Amino acid sequence: MNDNLLPLVIEPQELESSLGADNLLVVDLCKPENYRRMHVPGAVHLEYPQIIAIRRPSMGLVPDDATLASVFSALGIDEHTHVVAYDDEGGGRAARLLWTLEVAGHTRYSLLNGGLHAWANEGHRLEATPVVPLARTFHVRRNSEPSVDSAYIRDRLGHDDCCLLDTRSPDEYNGTRKFADRAGHIPGAVNFEWTQAIDPARNMRLKTSEELAALLSPLGVTADKEVITYCQTHHRSAHTYIMLRQLGFEKVKGYPGSWSDWGNNPDLPVE
C-alpha cells in the first residue's frame, strides 16, 4: 500500500506549496512538444514508451527489472523519492507510471489531480526550460500484488468476490470495434469507460467520491471485492486502478497486456 506523506491524489495548490522539498520529484508524461512549451517548475520529462514492454501481439507489458532500474535511476528516483506524476491526457500515462512504480516496489507516489489542465488553467507557475534529471540509484523489489496475468484471471472467472472491470469504450467492450484477433470482453466483465471518472468541468480532475460510487455501485464494483482492471494494454485501466485506490479499494489489481494479451490468445474464453 501507499506509504506517502503526500496524498495519493494531490491538488495543484498542495503540490505548488511542496515544490523544492527534499526527495520530491515531479514527472511530466505530457507530449514532448507540450513539455517544451510549459511544465510544472522542476518537472523532469518521461517518454511513455520507456515504461512499457512489447512482446507482440501483447502490448503494454511490464519491462524487465534491469530496464526499470535503468529508467527510474536515470529519472532521479531512489527509495526516498516521492514521485508526483501528471500528463496532458487526463491521467492515463501518469497513472501507468505510478502503477509500474508500485510493481517495482516503490510506493511513495501521487497523481496530480487534473494534470497539466488543472495546473495551467488555474494559474500555477509554469516554466519552459527542460530539466536535466539528477540520477539516483533505483533498486527494483518486485511486488506481485498490483498485477495479474491471464492465468490468474481465468482461475477467478465466475467468482462472486471478484469483479473484472473493462475500462475500454462500449464499442470495444461489445465487440463492434476490434483491436485484437478476437473481439468482445473477458467473460463476466462489466464496462466502465475510464473517462467516466474524469470531470471536464473541473479541469480533468477525478469526479467526487460520491459521484464515482454512484457510477460504480450499480455495476457491482464495490470495495469488498477484488477488482481487476483492464483495457487494451493497461494504459486507460491504470487510471482506473489509481481512482479505485483513491476511493479506498484495497483489493485492486491491473492486467498488463490486457485485451492485447487476452484477445489474441485462442485458448482463453471470450464473451
Pairing state between β 58-61 and 9-10: unpaired
Total residues found in the chain within this entry? 271
Q: Which residues contact 208 (CB under 8 A, 6 or more apart)?
A: none
To the nearest whole number, what is the mean pLDDT of the chain? 97
Residue 165 confidence (pLDDT): 99
Q: Which residues contact 107 (CB under 8 A, 6 or more apart)?
A: 1, 2, 3, 4, 101
C-alpha cell at 174: 461489445
User: Tell me, what DSSP letter sits at residue 43?
Assistant: P
Q: Give mean pLDDT, residues 57-70.
A: 98
CA distances for 52 relative to 44, 57, 264, angstroms: 18, 14, 18
Judged by DSSP in three states, 58 sits in strand
* Cα gap 29→14, rounded to integer Å: 20
pLDDT category at 3 given cuts 50, 70, 90 is: very low
pLDDT category at 203 given cuts 50, 70, 90 is: very high
Judge contact between 167 and 232, C-beta under 8 A: no
- Beta strands (DSSP E) in 4-124 are 9-10, 24-28, 44-45, 53-55, 58-61, 82-86, 109-112
- Residue whose entry in the numeric block shows the C-alpha cell 460504480: 216
Judged by DSSP in three states, 28 sits in strand
* Cα gap 164→228, rounded to integer Å: 5
Which of 110, 105, 99, 75 lies closest to 5, judged by CA? 110
Q: Is 30 a catalytic residue?
A: no
Which of 221, 214, 161 lies closest to 190, judged by CA? 221
The three-point CA angle 110-213-190 to 5° equals 95
At residue 54, φ and ψ (nearest 5 deg) are -125, 125
Segment 148-158, tens digit of pLDDT: 999 999 999 99
Residue 111: what residue type?
L
Dump the DSSP string for 182-217. Answer: S-S--TT-EE--GGGGEEGGGTTEEPPHHHHHHHHG
Domains and CATH numbers, the chain: 9-121 (3.40.250.10), 150-262 (3.40.250.10)
Sign of the alpha-carbon torsion through 77, 21, 202, 7: positive
Q: Which of 30, 162, 163, 231 is catalytic?
A: 231
Residue 70 has pLDDT above 60, yes or no: yes
Segment 209-258, tens digit of pLDDT: 999 999 999 999 999 999 999 999 999 999 999 999 999 999 999 999 99
Residue 2 confidence (pLDDT): 41
pLDDT category at 4 given cuts 50, 70, 90 is: low
Output 149-154 pairs: Cβ under 8 A, ≥24 positions apart: 149/255, 149/256, 149/257, 149/261, 150/255, 150/257, 150/261, 150/262, 150/265, 150/268, 153/186, 153/228, 153/255, 153/262, 154/268, 154/269
